[in-house]
Structure 1
């Protein structure tokens, strides 16, 4: 006899994240959640996530980052690369990567601050699904 997999629990978990975009720490937190925001935008059609991402792209352009700052921010946050790996790739020190990331993030925060941004809230919904393992016995 065999058994089949049955969803014993199907649901979602919702949580809220606040970003203070007029500070470097708030922008770093937002940048860390880029992939989650994009998922909310494209998979669920979340308009608030779309607005945040559009404003972030505009702020990055308005921040007028140097080439190294743009590269460091891109590789660290978009590509999820470690500082050490980015440093090797760009042939500069790990410390320089940290400096460029922090300087770039500070410039972006300054743009948000000049636009009058303060704290914004994003609501994330994650689908959770727990399946029962299947154990099948063969026929003798």
Structure 2
């Protein structure tokens, strides 16, 4: 079975914590920085679907990605902050299939990237990681941040 490429995305820079964490929105800088990153990566992104955490900051990030790529967007509560770990995130990506972009949170995204890379890497807000998933394997292809 040939590998599939999926994208793991940490939500862009969000407002400081105040009130309900799920309601935190993107900052203008976070929105602009992520939009610029997606524009810069346009030729490297082969996204066929975007799946987002239900948290506002992840949904907003996913909306930007979906609008730029023309991919459909869905929300999945399994991507909410603290709902799964890195291995589970990779399993969700594998099930979503080739070209899926999963938009979530740290530490989950950083854990999944570390499993694919074989070492810990910094996963800043707005980071996009391309991961190639084979039969029982994961390999980091590239990692880009705003």
Tell me whether the two structures share a fold, i.e. TM-score over 0.5.
Answer: no
Between the two structures, name the one with larger relative contact order (CA 8 Å, sep ≥ 6): 1
Higher helix proportion, which one?
1
- Larger of the two Rg values belongs to structure: 1
TM-score by length of 1: 0.30
TM-score of the two chains, using structure 2 as the length reference: 0.29
Structure showing the higher strand proportion among its residues: 2
